[in-house]
Amino acid sequence: MLLFLALAGAAAPPFDPLRFFTGATRGTAQLKVILRAAKPVTVRGTGRRQPDGALVLDQWVTEGDKPPRARRWLLRQTAPGRYAGTLTDARGPVTGTVRGRTLQLSFTSDGGFRVRQTLTLQPDGRTLANRLEARRFGIRVAVLTERIVKVD
């Protein structure tokens, strides 16, 4: 009983997305676009820290049977629990907030969709559950559910 109380009282450290995405990651996902069948998506990522502490994350995304496409994230911490950056697939800035083990990202896609992405660190500390929703005129038009694993 004492062990349970000690473990329950020990708060897990907050999620550090810059540390998680430094190195190699792999994602497997399903993308469901309104009025279309779900299709598989795979993402290979390699992140590196810049001298100023920012993260550059290069990803190769394969959607269904389309050829892989490259995208790049640049993310930096602006205050405790607050992040800002850019994404090659975004029009304008990316903003993020960490609460506990969850990072919420928001941006507008280059296609004009409002995107909200929720990444939740799993208890093993090496896996993220990712849920991305894209909306147009307030209507949810696409949902991506993904499992991201830290490889190294």
pLDDT of residue 8: 47
DSSP 22-54: SEEEEEEEEEEETTS--EEEEEEEEEEE-TTS-
Specify whether the CB–CB gap between 106 and 119 falls below 8 A.
no
Q: Supply φ then ψ for residue 7, to 5 degrees.
A: -70, -40
pLDDT of residue 46: 98
Specify whether the CB–CB gap between 88 and 103 falls below 8 A.
no
Of 58, 17, 34, 43, residue with least CA distance to 113:
34
Query: How many other β-carbons are positioned within 10 Å of the β-carbon of residue 5?
Result: 9
The token duo for 85 is 């950056």
Question: What is the CATH classification number for the domain harbouring 105?
Answer: 2.40.128.20
pLDDT of residue 148: 98
The token duo for 40 is 């598989």
Q: Does residue 124 sit within a domain?
A: yes
Q: Does residue 6 sit within a domain?
A: no
**Residue-wise pLDDT tens for the chain (152 aa)?**
444 444 444 556 679 999 999 999 999 999 999 999 999 999 999 999 999 999 999 999 999 999 999 999 999 999 999 999 999 999 999 999 999 999 999 999 999 999 999 999 999 999 999 999 999 999 999 999 999 999 98
pLDDT of residue 4: 47
pLDDT of residue 25: 98
* H or E element in which residue 103 lies: strand 102-108
What is the domain extent for residue 99? 13-150
When divided into structural domains, the chain yields a total of 1
| Residue 12 to residue 37: CA distance in whole angstroms | 38
Q: Does residue 3 sit within a domain?
A: no
Whole-model pTM: value is: 0.88
pLDDT of residue 10: 52
